[in-house]
């Protein structure tokens, strides 16, 4: 059976159409490839950035790891926990945690009671003091109440600023 014969003009147009479709498909495939490569590059960049930030957080946690336990052993802190209503005990504990914070370089220090209420804080004299704020819902507090040391990175409830929170139970 003979093949139908196309006029040369129609054959050229059909070949141009096929060539244009092939070119469009190649351009589309190249675009998909380039997009995937760019996305992979960005994901790798983000992974490296996360690793760097994780190292920084680990370093900060190690630098300040001693503070919760050490501060919690101080007689002024223990006195405030025994007598939370005592104005004198509160003043002494506030001064102590402010002094420790200033010497350690930590952003803030505060003492929570068993209900999560801040009894003393290094920023006790400021308008945005942590004193009397409740942090019972925070993971670091919950772990400390279970007797565990805790490191938590999150946004501060009072400040709205991201930070690293380190907590330890008071023995």
Backbone angles phi, psi at 110, to 5 degrees: -155, 155
- Report the distance separating Cα 74 and Cα 67, nearest Å: 11
CB 122 within 8 A of CB 149: no
Under-50 pLDDT residues of the chain: none
Pinpoint the alpha helices (H) of the chain: 8-64, 66-72, 75-82, 87-104, 139-145
70-98 tens-digit pLDDT: 888 899 999 999 999 999 999 999 999 99
Give pTM, 2 decimals: 0.68
Query: Which two three-digit tokens encode residue 121?
Result: 């804080």
Q: Which of 64, 45, 42 is nearest to 164 (CA)?
A: 64
């Amino acid at each position: 059976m003979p093949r139908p014969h196309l006029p040369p003009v129609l054959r050229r147009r059909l070949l141009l159409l096929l060539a244009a479709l092939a070119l469009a498909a190649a351009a589309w495939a190249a675009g998909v490839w380039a997009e995937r490569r760019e996305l992979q590059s960005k994901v790798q960049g983000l992974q490296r950035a996360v690793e760097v930030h994780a190292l920084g957080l680990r370093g900060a946690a190690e630098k300040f790891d001693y503070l919760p336990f050490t501060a919690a052993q101080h007689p002024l802190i223990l006195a405030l926990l025994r007598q939370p209503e005592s104005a004198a005990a509160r003043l002494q504990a506030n001064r102590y945690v402010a002094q420790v914070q200033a010497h350690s370089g930590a952003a803030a220090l505060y003492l929570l009671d068993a209900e999560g209420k801040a009894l003393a804080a290094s920023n006790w004299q400021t308008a945005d003091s942590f004193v009397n704020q409740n942090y019972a819902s925070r993971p670091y507090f919950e772990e400390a109440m279970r007797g565990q040391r805790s490191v938590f990175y999150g946004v501060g409830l009072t400040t709205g600023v991201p930070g690293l929170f380190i907590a330890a139970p008071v023995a």
